């Protein structure tokens, strides 16, 4: 009976040790499954390592990241836009765009470039909005900016036209 208890205790100990080793090893691995309708990009510490084809992957160590992209055909529908033709007839058109990601690396690169461009445009719009608020609150700033521009143009020797008047006069004449 003691031998039986001893064998059970050893088996339980082995199972506990094996599960601890498995849990420890699992914390240092990254597993990914790329299905047949996907393409994957393998990054390590933020740098692209390789493009992954369909299959099962296990990466040892830390800092691995796998991003998956569907490669099947997708479609986007732009609903009814009304347009006027040259002969003044109204036409309603719906457009369907069908696309497919063939190169995940190129798609990722283009996406990041578009996001960065959008961020830059948003920052530029915020700056313009802030400047507009400042000019509305302090009209003297607009005059000062106008004089600075005249000074820059005259210093560079660009043209020989002299405009007399203030920025407010120009703004009034436009409206």
Phi, psi (deg, nearest 5) at residue 69: -130, 135
- What residues does 55 pair with on adjacent strands? 34
* Residue of higher predicted confidence among 173 and 113: 113
The three-point CA angle 109-111-114 to 5° equals 110
Average pLDDT, rounded, for the chain: 84
- Residue 173 pLDDT class (50, 70, 90 cuts): low
- Residue 171 pLDDT class (50, 70, 90 cuts): low
Q: Is the pLDDT of residue 82 over 90?
A: no
- The pLDDT value recorded for residue 167 is 59
Q: Is the pLDDT of residue 1 over 80?
A: no
- % of the chain residues with pLDDT over 90: 30
- The pLDDT value recorded for residue 159 is 61
Kindly report whether the global pTM for this prediction surpasses the value 0.75: no
- The pLDDT value recorded for residue 157 is 66
| Per-residue pLDDT tens over the stretch 24-43 | 777 788 899 999 999 999 99
- The pLDDT value recorded for residue 148 is 84
- The pLDDT value recorded for residue 3 is 85
Give the span between the Cα atoms of 125 and 136, in whole angstroms.
16
Burial category of 49 from C-beta neighbours within 10 Å (exposed 0-12, middle 13-18, buried 19 and up) = middle
């Amino acid at each position: 009976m003691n031998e039986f208890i001893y064998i059970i205790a050893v088996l339980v100990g082995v199972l506990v040790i094996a599960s601890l080793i498995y849990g420890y090893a699992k914390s240092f691995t990254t597993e990914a499954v790329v299905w047949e309708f996907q393409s994957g990009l393998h990054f390590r510490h933020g740098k692209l390592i390789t493009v992954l084809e369909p299959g099962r992957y296990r990466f040892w160590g830390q800092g691995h990241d796998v991003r998956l992209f569907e490669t099947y055909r997708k479609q986007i529908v732009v609903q009814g836009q009304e347009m006027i033709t040259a002969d003044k007839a109204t036409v309603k058109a719906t457009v369907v765009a069908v696309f497919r990601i063939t190169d995940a690396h190129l798609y990722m690169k283009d996406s990041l470039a578009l996001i960065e461009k959008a961020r830059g445009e948003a920052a530029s719009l915020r700056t313009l909005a802030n400047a507009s608020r400042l000019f509305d609150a302090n009209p003297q700033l607009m005059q000062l900016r106008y004089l600075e521009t005249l000074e820059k143009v005259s210093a560079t020797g660009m043209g020989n036209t002299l405009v007399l008047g203030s920025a407010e006069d120009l703004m009034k004449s436009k409206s």
